[in-house]
């Protein structure tokens, strides 16, 4: 899948150019609007889709597997601190989600690892990751599922 | 200089009819260029297809009164103040350039059609507005060109890199700049320079209005149409498949305020 730009909505502000982690969103030299210069290298991270202030960027699926008529679109409202998703399926089913924005400002909240205590061997061998469980705002142990409840084989 | 009507002085060597003919020819070039652009890019077909799609997905049937109200609001807010550019320097520069250009062109038409004949005194308000429009166009345009252009701001290209997308803005800036220089040299009695800037002013106008098909000139017709379509889609609930605005209090807001796109 890859991103594409609705030219009537794009105003060439450059936010997608700035945020694209693959550096594939660039400005067209004829009409000065954004474009994806290398769709094959797009990993559908949706960074540009969310960053676009004019909702001018969308993501298309490959014709061989994406259901035709589907749509996944997002509205990011900084003044409310929310990000809303609207997912439309080919059969008409529609799902809407609203979540808080969790993006951190550029250059902030970078862990200062050099100032931290070195982990002991027990912490290195543990399955817990750095800052867990406090970083997840969980008191005590991480949640677990009893393996006995699992069914065998692939299931959905 | 601000009281000088360059067209009435020009009438000594060029007949007012020729000037009026030139202006009508420029309008004709704009219409022709836009029509060819529409045929080539099929953008009108795209707008109509999009309108049909929006109607199919509409959640509310808009009454004629509601549609008119949405269109009027779009004209007053989105189009008259170029709201899509958000709050910032780009919008200020665009508004300066837009209104400067409108004033400059409107005053040019008034000066050519009403005050280019010999013996008619030109009101200073019109000549002052003509110069003010050109200056406003230059201020907004050069601000955009040197500092705000996305190529410079987000792509980190040097300001002197010229691409096809610059045809419109450079031709417009050339028109305003050479127009001002022509008026200044005319009022100061610098005859050779006056003719030079007159020729450059004419060439800049030919490039600007004759290059509609190759430049971004027609964006001033398409962008208002796109803004109206976007706001009608918001009002009828189709919203181009976008989710509705979140029903949330403004309590978490702007902890992550959008930054200038210049982290290259």
Token couple for B161 = 């890199």
Examine the pLDDT at A39 and tell me if it is beyond 70.
yes
Interface of B with A in 206-225 (CB under 8 A): 216, 222-223, 225
Helix-then-strand count for chain A, H and E: 3, 7
**Euclidean distance between the first and final Cα of chain B, in Å?**
44
Q: In this structure, is residue B33 part of a structural domain?
A: yes
Q: In this structure, is residue A153 part of a structural domain?
A: no
Token couple for A131 = 């800052």
| CA pseudo-torsion sign B53, B59, B60, B66 | negative
Interface of B with A in 135-164 (CB under 8 A): 149-151, 153-155, 163-164
Question: Are the Cβ atoms of A8 and B46 closer than 8 angstroms?
Answer: yes
Closest-CA residue of chain B to A70: B241
Q: In this structure, is residue B255 part of a structural domain?
A: no
Q: In this structure, is residue B249 part of a structural domain?
A: no
Q: In this structure, is residue B150 part of a structural domain?
A: yes
Question: Are the Cβ atoms of B242 and A104 closer than 8 angstroms?
Answer: no
Q: In this structure, is residue B262 part of a structural domain?
A: no
Facing B155 at nearest CB: one of A15, A27, A100? A27
Q: What CATH number corresponds to the domain at position B26?
A: 1.20.950
Low-confidence ranges of chain B (pLDDT < 50): none
The 8-class DSSP code of residue A128 comes to P
pTM over the 0.80 mark:
yes
Token couple for B184 = 């200044």
Q: What CATH number corresponds to the domain at position A29?
A: 3.30.70.20
Facing B246 at nearest CB: one of A6, A55, A77? A77
> What is the predicted pLDDT for the residue at B93?
96
The helix/strand/coil state of B97 is: helix
Q: In this structure, is residue A90 part of a structural domain?
A: yes
> What is the predicted pLDDT for the residue at A116?
85
CA nearest neighbour of A25 among B261, B149, B94: B261
Tell me: cis bond preceding A133? Omega within 30 of 0 counts: yes
Question: Are the Cβ atoms of A29 and B163 closer than 8 angstroms?
Answer: yes
Residues of B in contact with A85 (CB under 8 A): 243
> What DSSP letter does each residue of B106-152 carry, written as one string?
HHHHHHHHHS-STTPPPPHHHHHHHHHHHHHHHHHHHHIIIII-HHH
* B253-262 pLDDT, tens digit each: 676 777 888 8
Q: In this structure, is residue B29 part of a structural domain?
A: yes
Examine the pLDDT at A41 and tell me if it is beyond 80.
yes
Closest-CA residue of chain A to B218: A31
Q: In this structure, is residue A36 part of a structural domain?
A: yes
Q: In this structure, is residue B254 part of a structural domain?
A: no
Domain total in chain A: 1
Q: In this structure, is residue B264 part of a structural domain?
A: no
Which H helix or E strand runs over B14?
none
Domain total in chain B: 1
| Mean pLDDT across chain A | 85
Domain span holding position B158? 6-237
Facing A106 at nearest CB: one of B165, B226, B263? B263
Q: Is A43 marked active-site? A: yes
Domain span holding position A64? 2-143
Q: What's the ipTM?
A: 0.86
The alpha carbon torsion through B150, B153, B158, B163 (nearest 10 deg) reads: 0
| CA pseudo-torsion sign B138, B133, B108, B212 | positive
Please indicate whether residue A148 or residue A37 has the higher confidence score (pLDDT).
Answer: A37
* B11-36 pLDDT, tens digit each: 888 899 999 999 999 999 999 999 99
Which H helix or E strand runs over B39?
helix B16-41
């Amino acid at each position: 899948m890859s991103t594409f730009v609705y030219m009537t909505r794009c105003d060439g502000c450059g936010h997608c150019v700035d945020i694209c982690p693959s550096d594939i969103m660039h400005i067209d030299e004829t009409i000065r609007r954004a474009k994806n210069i290398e769709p094959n290298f797009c990993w559908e991270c949706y960074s540009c889709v969310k960053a676009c202030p004019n909702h001018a960027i969308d993501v298309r699926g490959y014709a061989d597997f994406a259901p035709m008529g589907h749509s996944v679109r997002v509205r990011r409202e900084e003044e409310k601190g929310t990000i809303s998703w609207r997912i439309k399926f080919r059969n008409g089913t529609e799902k809407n989600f609203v979540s808080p924005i969790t993006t951190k400002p550029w250059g902030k909240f970078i862990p200062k690892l050099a100032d931290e205590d070195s982990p002991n061997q027990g912490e290195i061998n543990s399955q817990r990751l750095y800052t867990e469980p406090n970083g997840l705002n969980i008191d005590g142990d991480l949640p677990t599922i009893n393996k006995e409840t699992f069914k065998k084989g692939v299931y959905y | 200089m601000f009281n000088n009507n360059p067209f009435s002085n020009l009438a000594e060597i060029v007949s007012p009819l020729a000037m009026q003919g030139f202006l009508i020819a420029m309008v004709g070039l704009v219409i022709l260029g836009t029509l060819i652009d529409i045929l080539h890019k099929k953008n009108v077909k795209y707008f109509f297809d999009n309108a049909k799609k929006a109607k199919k997905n509409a959640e509310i049937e808009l009454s004629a009164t509601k549609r008119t109200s949405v269109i009027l609001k779009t004209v007053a807010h989105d189009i008259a103040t170029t709201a899509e550019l958000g709050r910032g320097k780009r919008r200020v520069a665009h508004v300066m350039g837009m209104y400067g250009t409108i004033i400059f062109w409107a005053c040019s038409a008034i000066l050519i059609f009403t005050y280019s004949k010999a013996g008619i005194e030109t009101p200073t308000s019109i000549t002052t507005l003509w110069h003010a429009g050109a200056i406003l166009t230059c201020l907004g345009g050069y601000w955009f060109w040197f500092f705000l252009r996305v190529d410079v701001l987000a792509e980190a290209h040097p300001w002197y890199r010229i691409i096809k997308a610059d045809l419109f803005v450079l031709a417009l800036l050339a028109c305003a700049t050479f127009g001002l220089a022509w008026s200044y040299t005319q009022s100061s009695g610098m005859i050779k320079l006056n003719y030079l800037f007159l020729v450059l002013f004419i060439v800049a106008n030919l490039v600007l209005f004759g290059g509609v098909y190759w430049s971004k000139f027609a964006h001033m017709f398409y962008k208002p149409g796109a803004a109206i379509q976007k706001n009608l889609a918001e009002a009828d609930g189709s919203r181009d498949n976008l989710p509705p605005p979140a029903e949330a209090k403004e309590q978490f807001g702007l902890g992550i305020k959008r930054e200038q796109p210049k982290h290259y």
